[in-house]
Amino acid sequence: MPIFQLGELFCGPGGLSYGAMTADIGDQNCRIVHAWATDYDRDSCQTYAHNICRGKPGSVILKDVRELDLTTLGPIDALAFGFPCNDYSVVGERKGEAGEYGPLYTYGVKALKLFRPQWFLAENVGGLKSANEGKTFEKILRELEEAGYTITPHLYKFEEYGVPQTRHRIIIVGIRKDLGLKFRVPSPGGYKVRTCRQALEEPPIPEGAPNNERTRQSPVVVRRLEHIRPGENAFTADLPEELKLHVSGAKISQIYKRLDPDKPAYTVTGSGGGGTHIYHWAESRALTNRERARLQTFPDDYVFLGGKESVRRQVGMAVPCDGARVIFEAILRTFAREEYPWIPENITE
């Protein structure tokens, strides 16, 4: 069986790649190794190089993909690209393909045509499916298929796969048509729901863990949080008048929302202002970046480089490592022609 050399566009801090590198089906001759990665964010590239390929820092290219000459990159057997999702997010304005980041998926298509990898994995937010009345998503699927791949798109609910966070993402896996293989969505059966309390306390975060500095909370925020119970937010809690938020048209339910310790966390995002840090269920404070990284299933020795706000952004934009690993292991089993429990894809073309 092959050892797949993985190239990655829009690599971020390495959540997808860590899931790929740690995917294990019990056969060292069927695994995934790093070839190259690229991103336009300096801190993300440094985090990726430090954790994923410390011995090959030159294989992480800091460049905007729109200015990158793909022909300068080495050959690969597999491609991953979590193309930027800002314009497809339900929270954002949903400009879709017309937005600044919308067309960036086309660079993944270009890489597929240039390198002809045996398989690819593309990732985006669930809102992609309905952007531009679904036309953008249909176009993306069509172009990926026309590049020569049998595709399996699926909306994964990562909390069903043991990730301690409600995080829904569209993952499209494609296998080159001439290989005659079809990827099946791995079944979530057998995975236990993991609560945010379990994620943060079992085991406790070690003393001196990196990226674990606490955010200083203003007295008014502390007072507000004291009136918010687990699972409530600033709009559903019974707050005194002086602590209420008077924001017209506010719909985001995560503002000053405390975690419910007996459920998976709500979605970790890259933002951090205006009460969106994610708040502890018992203590009147925002989570640390290390705690947020735990919800994203990064190991405690995974060091994020850059300032606190940059790290918050990196953690929030990443793909949960454990969720990615489940999918990559299913890809490896597909190529090893091993049976594994699967479910029908929930997105049909």
3-state secondary structure 270-290: CCCCCCCCCECCCCCCECCHH
Strand partners, 151: 174
Tokens of 10: 């829009």
Tokens of 45: 């590239």
- 86 contacts: CB under 8 Å, gap ≥ 6: 92, 99, 100, 101
Phi, psi (deg, nearest 5) at residue 88: -110, -5
Tokens of 197: 């309390």
Interhelix angle 135-146/105-115, nearest 10 degrees? 10
Q: Express each pLDDT in 179-201 by its tens digit.
A: 999 999 999 999 999 999 999 99
What CATH number corresponds to the domain at position 60? Answer: 3.40.50.150
With bands split at pLDDT 50, 70 and 90, how would you rate the model's confidence at 38?
very high
Cα–Cα distance, 83 to 102 (Å, whole number):
9
CA distances from 59 to 35, 55, 80, 119, 253 (A): 7, 9, 15, 20, 40
69: in domain: yes
97: in domain: yes
Task: Indicate left, alpha or beta for 3 from its phi (over 0: left) and psi (-120 to 50: alpha).
Answer: beta
With bands split at pLDDT 50, 70 and 90, how would you rate the model's confidence at 1?
low
- Residue where the block lists tokens 């390495």: 14
Please state the rounded mean pLDDT for residues 243-251. 72
pLDDT of residue 85: 57
Does 150 have pLDDT greater than 90? Answer: yes
Q: Express each pLDDT in 55-100 by its tens digit.
A: 888 999 999 998 999 999 999 999 999 987 545 444 444 454 444 5
127: in domain: yes
326, with CB counted inside 10 A (0-12, 13-18, 19+), is: buried
In the chain, the N- to C-terminal Cα span, in Å, equals 31
- Residue where the block lists tokens 């890259």: 270
Domain extent at residue 105: 3-193+319-343
222: in domain: no
Helices (H), the chain: 15-21, 42-51, 105-115, 135-146, 196-201, 219-226, 289-295, 308-317, 321-335
Q: Which residue out of 30, 45, 85, 196 is catalytically annotated?
A: 85
Tell me whether residue 85 is one of the annotated catalytic residues: yes
pTM of model > 0.85 = yes
With bands split at pLDDT 50, 70 and 90, how would you rate the model's confidence at 248?
low
189: in domain: yes
pLDDT of residue 252: 62
- 182 contacts: CB under 8 Å, gap ≥ 6: 150, 152, 175, 334
Q: Give strand ranges (E) for 63-163.
A: 78-81, 119-125, 149-157
204: in domain: no
125: in domain: yes
Cα–Cα distance, 295 to 65 (Å, whole number):
29
31: in domain: yes
Number of domains within the chain: 1
301, 1 Cβ separation under 8 angstroms: no
Q: DSSP string covering 246-265, please?
A: --TT---TTTTPBP-TTSPB
pLDDT of residue 196: 98
Percent of the chain predicted with pLDDT > 70 = 93
With bands split at pLDDT 50, 70 and 90, how would you rate the model's confidence at 261?
very high
Phi, psi (deg, nearest 5) at residue 115: -95, -20
